[in-house]
Homo-oligomer: A and B are copies of this chain.
Amino acid sequence: MAQTKADLFQEDEIMCASYAKALSHPARVAILKVLAQRKSCVCGDIVEELPLAQATVSQHLKELKEVGLIQGTIDGPSVCYCINPEGLQRAQKLLSGLFTAAAKCCG
């Protein structure tokens, strides 16, 4: 059992869930906040800010990158991460759309 049925839903529901999933761990929320505050977005700085090992942070960064919320550019030996405005906007639009639709229910 437990073969996933997540793809039996509508496209926008799946996208909405994907973005929400990317934000569903405090570490990833924290990463976005760090990126928002700092000008320099070097990976090492992020690792220092979080109570997690380097490998774990790298994994979280990968998830955020895969869904398109952040992007990383190689800067010499290190990698500079940055929020991806387009992805962020798309996520915001989808989620706030859900919220405003839902708010209409139940008077």
Residues of A within 8 A of B (CB): 5-6, 8-10, 13-14, 16-17, 20-30, 32-33, 35-37, 41, 51-52, 82-83, 85, 88-89, 91-92, 95-96, 98-99, 101-106
Contact = CB atoms under 8 A, between A and B. Distances in A.
B101 A33 contact: yes
Quickly give the copy total for this chain.
2
A30 B51 contact: no
Which residue, A9, A29, A85, A98, has most C-beta atoms of chain B within 10 A? A29
B103 A85 contact: yes
A9 B30 contact: yes
Contacts of A91: 99
Nearest to A69: B102
Interface of A is mostly: helix
Contacts of A33: 13, 98, 101-102
